[in-house]
Amino acid sequence: NTIEFTGALHATIVKQVRLKNPNSNTLAYNAILVGRDADDFSLPKGNTLTIPPARQGFLNVEFTIRFLHPAEAVLILISNKVDGVDGATMTFSLKSEVKNIEPLGTMKCRSPCYKL
């Protein structure tokens, strides 16, 4: 699965990963960000997620677009054994794309066009 972060340059984008637990036991996961641009992505609400039985849980992934080139990383969710039950390890590809560039500000200046 791929999670795409698209927006303007310097924009901060937050995506939610929703995980469902169909079991009658609690599931717990540790999240790890790896890859070339992993430092540009963050998990603002922490890297652990506990999902009660027959419920769902959400993990927020945040990214601020700092460069024009696409950023890439991988989100790995590793299950912790809770109540003797292990969940499946899951991976998500994280990719960014700059859709537009808005200036942070403008500046006026005067200068001669040329000098002899």
Place of tokens 């992505």: 41
pTM: predicted TM-score of the whole model, two decimal places: 0.83
Domain 2-99, classified CATH 3.40.50.720, yes or no = no
Supply the pLDDT for residue 78.
94
Q: Are 5 and 14 a contacting pair, CB within 8 Å?
A: no
Token pair recorded at residue 30:
């540790």
Distance CA 103, CA 38 (A): 26
Q: Along the 116 residues of the chain, how does pLDDT read in single tens digits?
A: 899 999 999 899 999 999 998 888 889 999 999 999 999 999 999 999 999 989 999 999 999 999 999 999 999 999 987 777 778 899 999 999 999 888 778 899 888 887 77
Supply the pLDDT for residue 69.
92
Supply the pLDDT for residue 86.
78
